[in-house]
Chains A and B, each alone.
Chain A
Amino acid sequence: EAGVAQSPRYKIIEKRQSVAFWCNPISGHATLYWYQQILGQGPKLLIQFQNNGVVDDSQLPKDRFSAERLKGVDSTLKIQPAKLEDSAVYLCASSTDGSTDTQYFGPGTRLTVL
């Protein structure tokens, strides 16, 4: 079974620029999550999708971050404009149905904002 795929793996941008990350979850997984992991901290949930609907985006900085999951499969996370404090690893995870089942994580995208 293929795991969660993410791209790019690394991205370096200057502040105020825009950036987008892509995630392809495990086939058949209805729930998709985006996490932000700042160096030295645990992952923090940014947004959770159930199929193509948003379940929880309470910690998403909506003035600069946006995410979509068209057709309930792939997802993109965008930052516009980026700030220095957005430097982090952005992790995508998926699970079968979003109840109490296991979340499977992708390798992450490491973003550096200069």
Chain B
Amino acid sequence: QKEVEQDPGPLSVPEGAIVSLNCTYSNSAFQYFMWYRQYSRKGPELLMYTYSSGNKEDGRFTAQVDKSSKYISLFIRDSQPSDSATYLCAMSGAGGYNKLIFGAGTRLAVHP
């Protein structure tokens, strides 16, 4: 079993739709949870960063962490064609050195 599971998609939605992306994980030591966005032929860029459980909102993006269920989500409201990319969840443990464990990524296509 992988430490982090993520449905690779692809996910295709119309412009303006609400998108829900999810990851599950098995290591209860994870404390820091991130979502990265990766455009084709580019490196990942940090989108959202959450510590422990709870919600965090930034513009059209909302990240949720449920540590009791070992489940994290990213919601994108009013999706735009420019949101078309691969979304990677990543997580790391408490303290120490910042080793990130990534999910496989979900490819999202938002069509006009």
A100 and B92 in contact (CB under 8 A), knowing A40-B104, A48-B97?
A: yes
- Decide if B42 is an interface residue (CB 8 Å cutoff): yes
B102 partner, pick from A43, A48, A98, beta carbons under 8 A = A43
Residue A55 lies at the interface, judged by CB distance under 8 Å to chain B: yes
| Identity of the chain B residue whose Cβ is nearest the Cβ of A44 in the assembled complex | B102
Q: Which residues of the other chain, B, contact A50 by a CB distance below 8 angstroms?
A: 97
Tell me the smallest distance from the CB of A31 to a CB of chain B, in Å: 7
Q: Type the 1/0 row for A63-84, where 1 means its CB is closer than 8 Å to any CB of B.
A: 0000000000000000000000
Question: What band does the interface of chain A fall in when counting residues whose beta carbon is under 8 Å from B?
Answer: 20 to 34
| CA gap between A102 and B44 in the complex, in Å | 12
Q: Is the CB of B43 within 8 A of A101?
A: no
Produce 1/0 per residue, B75-112, CB < 8 A to A.
00000000000001010100111111011110000000
- Tell me whether A61 is interfacial, beta carbon within 8 Å: no
Which residues of chain A are within 8 angstroms of B45 by Cβ–Cβ distance?
A: 105
Binary contact track A33-48/B, C-beta < 8 Å → 1, others 0: 0000000111111001
Is A103 among interface residues, defined by CB-CB distance under 8 A? yes
Given contacts A40-B104, A56-B97, A99-B98, 17 further A-B contacts (CB under 8 A): A31-B98, A40-B8, A41-B104, A41-B105, A42-B6, A42-B88, A42-B104, A42-B105, A43-B88, A45-B99, A48-B98, A95-B98, A98-B97, A103-B46, A103-B98, A105-B43, A105-B45
